[in-house]
Chains A and B, each alone.
Chain A
């Protein structure tokens, strides 16, 4: 079975945000770009399925400028067989534009499973997976935290408020992965060496007109300075008083 794993390159979670001079984008200076953490679970699950079936192929797909090839190379080092780089020098305007480009690339692949992280930690959108599934006309489960394959049906779980949903999904299908699904592996030296010889196919894409327009990117208002109410257990009485009388939250 062929599996596709869609990955995104994002600023790491230690990034301190500075808004660029245009007032609409993140200042890229000093930002370290990494594989989106939720995509690690997607990559790992695709590799586990391939290993369990002892057959098939994992194709990594990513959209972006030439820089995303670093991330694709990392995914190849983890064990993906080949990669498709949807090349666009302009940043993707919105999730629907990305989903359309991915759908175009994936529809010719006969993929039994398509994997994505549940959201990217830069825009926190959580949209591309279900949009892609809808465009492909395939079943989709988001935020998967447990996955089992039984023949041509996947039995999965997803977290909901105060509990979990169990679902059954016929393949082919699209899944977005949550933390807890698996423990992602690290790339081995052998994997890193092998990745150098694997293919990254470049396909230029046109993302079209934006479906959502960003007017501004702003930092949150700074929080008003707080105070230390005291030290040790002796401070508790004053803390409780402040929470009741000043903050009025108790």
Chain B
């Protein structure tokens, strides 16, 4: 019996979402029983023993030349085999772009259902119950798992990484798994845009989003300046994405990304239901809008009624002076 965690790596380095999953695995192991086993799919060892400090007891190192980059089919085969090998009760996978792609494949290989993008897991009754948002957070469902293992993905920034246990090393074992790499499969041939250092909306601590109130795409410079001052990621409403002002990847809402940063600043966004759904779980919401009746003020912790063309530069200035 074991809790299995999929270690998400990028260029050999462990991503923060992996530490969050390990932290949760450690908490679950206290109730469901451990140990916490990590499966690391990689082309070469990358100091996986150090995952011990983040909560891993053991690391299964699934090595393959094809694993220098994410490999959907190969990783799924390795993770499913690892789940069987350790008799996993639960398989925890970060709900990242890779993890969301991987988890359903793992579940299908194991013949079990899964819960994606979970915001809370509870094992207090001896059985796992997952809480996850539906309709971009308009409601939450609680799910139980009649089959074993329970496969879940964990939404970034919702689970705390464990306090590091300095010096604790995980035992690293080579993990042999069967996978036919010659079978037809999707192969990653390249990755672009990585060097930008831009934090994705779903993992951002602070987001500044702009909407129709900006009146023209070039005025998004105001949003970018404020975001730069705050160290924030830029988001956008559906209206401005549909108008072609901003790329699709920046859209927050029910047909875009659901986000839960510690600070969300909505500028010139009135607050359509589908937008509110995507950002209402943010810890602190600031709204800047000239219309005091705008629905965005109903979810905002702090509102400023006024002309964003005056308020935003003043706020940017004030933030810069803090540094």
Contact = CB atoms under 8 A, between A and B. Distances in A.
Contacts of B286: 239, 243
A141 B72 CA distance: 8
A79 interface: no
B198 A162 contact: yes
B159 to A, nearest CB: 17
Q: Which of A121, A211, A226 has the most chain B CB atoms inside 10 A of its CB?
A: A226
Given A209-B146, A212-B114, A17 B107 contact: no
A193 interface: no
B263 A168 contact: no
Given A125-B116, A214-B143, A226-B301, A220 B108 contact: no
B197 interface: yes
Interface string B151-168: 000000000000000000
A37 to B, nearest CB: 5
Nearest to B140: A218
Contacts of A21: none
A85 B156 CA distance: 37
A239 to B, nearest CB: 6
A32 interface: no
A26 B139 contact: yes
Contacts of B115: 212
Given A178-B248, A249-B262, A166 B189 contact: yes
A126 interface: yes
A55 interface: no
Contact of B139 (A14, A125, A173, A218): A218
B186 A141 contact: yes
Interface stretch (A45-53, A94-102, A104-112): A94-102
B199 A168 contact: no
A123 interface: yes
A167 B306 contact: no
A13 B190 contact: no
A249 B72 CA distance: 37
A36 to B, nearest CB: 10
B34 interface: no
B219 interface: no
B305 A228 contact: yes
Interface in B167-205: 183-194, 196-200, 202-203
Contacts of A138: 184
Interface in B17-71: 69-70
A237 B258 CA distance: 30
A169 interface: yes
Nearest to A129: B104
B140 A232 contact: no
A229 B292 CA distance: 12
Given A159-B249, A180-B249, A226-B301, A220 B280 contact: yes
Interface string B136-151: 1111111111110000
Nearest to A159: B249
Nearest to B73: A139
A66 interface: no
B212 interface: no
A96 B112 contact: yes
A150 interface: no
B251 A179 contact: yes
A230 B305 CA distance: 6
A19 interface: yes
Interface string A138-157: 11111101000000000000
A250 B262 CA distance: 10
Q: Which of B96, B97, B187 has the most chain A CB atoms inside 10 A of its CB?
A: B97
A197 interface: no
B311 interface: yes
Nearest to A134: B108
A226 B285 contact: yes
Contacts of A22: none
Contacts of B138: 15-17, 219-220
A134 B102 CA distance: 11
Interface in A210-239: 210-220, 223-224, 226-233, 235-237, 239
A10 to B, nearest CB: 9
Contacts of A95: 104, 113-114
B31 to A, nearest CB: 18
B216 interface: no
B136 A124 contact: yes
B302 A242 contact: yes
24 contacts: A15-B273, A96-B111, A121-B254, A124-B133, A134-B76, A142-B100, A163-B193, A163-B194, A168-B187, A179-B241, A215-B144, A216-B141, A216-B142, A219-B140, A220-B137, A220-B138, A228-B305, A229-B302, A230-B305, A233-B314, A240-B318, A249-B262, A250-B319, A250-B322
| Nearest 6 interchain pairs by C-beta | A211-B113, A163-B193, A212-B113, A180-B248, A134-B108, A232-B306
